[in-house]
Structure 1
Amino acid sequence: MILGYARVCTPEEDIKPQRKSLIEAGCREIFEDQGSANCVSLPGFSRLQASLKRGDTLVVWKLDRFGCSVKKLEALLTDLRKRGVHLRSLRDGIDTRTGKGRSFCEFVIDLANMERELALERTLAGREVAKKTGRTGGRRRQMTDSKILHARKLLASGMPPSEAANSLGVSLSTLYRWIPAPSKTIQSRSSH
């Protein structure tokens, strides 16, 4: 069976040209989503996926109506291939029933895999550089060694902690994290 899928990103877009092209392509049933720019809530696409069976052909007007990113497109193409469903994109001239169409899909899948591997390599390389330079993750320390020394001098001179923190440009909790507040010792009295 030939099934069609049409999607517009904004309510202002007209879905009729897609619908017309899908009907002309021989689609028996057309599933639609309107106003779904974020590709999150796609009830029409969910119904389409539930309807697809081995040997069916899914026809889309254009690939960007089908997958919102290379990663999503790769996942959808992989899923269709596993399920034995063919894909035809009218505007892009892609048909997975042909060698050229299958090669294109393999290329998209390989591209998405390469993108993931490059991201992983960059992450690992960044960790190695951080490790070699002694950097740890997270934000830069607000209280440098010189600020800690200066804070101790201010507090020793009798300046209230809130004023010392303010003059150093840090919060009171940050000041206390690096220079704990003096603990008050409670002297126990023994009764005679």
Structure 2
Amino acid sequence: MKIGYARVSSDDQNLDLQRDALRLAGCERVYEEKESGGKVDRPELLRLFEALRPGDTLVVWRLDRLGRSLKHLIETVEQLEALGVGFQSVTEAVDTTTSGGKLVFHIFAALAEFERTLIRERTRAGLKAARARGRHGGRPRLLSEDKRRMAQALRDDPSQSVAAICKTLGIARTTFYRYTRGKKVEP
């Protein structure tokens, strides 16, 4: 069975164009949604996924109606594939129920993976170059070495409470524990 999914971003937009295209594509049922594509939880899309059965085909008017990004679209189509459900986009002529459609979609997926790998490699190279110039990433330390030693010394004084130590040093409890946990006072 072909099941359609139509989505517009706001109430003032019209679903007629998508509805007509999905009926023309042979959809027996059409789930309609008026939600932003950026929203993770789209109630009608969730209802649609619950209704899908192996052998069904999910049909959309355009790819951007289903996925917020290429990555999200690929993940969604992979979910469909795991359910034994095909995917079809009317406008882009993508149809994973055919071998050619699967090829096109896997090319999209490969390009997205390639892009993620390039971004990861550029990030690592940038961090390595920054370290070579003496720069280190991450958050700046909240306690200097002197303040850390003072916190440890105060921790070992039984008359001092953690709350008092934190107030004296102007730090939160989590910071105190992060810098003093399991460490001995050093002279």
Instruction: Say whether the fold is shared (TM-score over 0.5).
Output: yes
Q: How many residue pairs align between the two structures?
A: 142
Unaligned runs of 5+ in 2: 141-169, 171-187
1:74 and 1:32 map into 2 onto residues whose CA distance is 21
Conserved in 2, the CA contact under 8 Å of 1:78 and 1:109?
A: no
User: Root-mean-square deviation (CA), in Å?
Assistant: 2.0
Structure of greater Rg: 1
Between the aligned partners of 1:71 and 1:50, the Cα distance in structure 2 is 22
Q: 8 Å contact 1:59–1:89 — kept in the other structure?
A: yes
1:9–1:35 Cα contact (<8 Å) kept: yes
Q: Give yes or no for contact 2:35–2:42 (8 Å, CA) kept in 1.
A: no
Q: Name the residue aligned to 2:2.
A: 2
* Structure 1 unmatched runs, 5+: 141-172, 174-192
Distance in 2 (CA, whole Å) between partners of 1:58 and 1:139 is 45
> Which aligned runs of 4 or more in structure 1 are off by greater than 4 angstroms?
none
Partner of 2:29: 29
- Distance in 2, matches of 1:100 and 1:44, equals 29
Matching residue of 1:20:
20
Residue 49 (structure 1) aligned with residue 55 (structure 2)? no
Q: Which residue of 2 aligns with 1:189?
A: none
Between the aligned partners of 2:51 and 2:109, the Cα distance in structure 1 is 24
Contact 1:2 1:27 in 2 (8 A): yes
| TM-score of the pair, normalised by structure 2 | 0.69
Residue 37 of structure 1 and its aligned partner are, at CA, apart by 4.0
Identity of aligned residues (%): 40
SS of 2:53's partner is coil
Give CA-to-partner distance per residue, 1:167-188, whole Å, 9 cap, x none. xxxxxx9xxxxxxxxxxxxxxx
Structure 1 length-normalised TM: 0.68
Residue 138 of structure 1: CA displacement? 5.0
CA displacement at 1:99 relative to structure 2? 2.1
Query: C-alpha distance in 1, partners of 2:113/2:133?
Result: 30
Q: Deviations over 1:61-85 (max 9, x none)?
A: 1111011211111111211222221
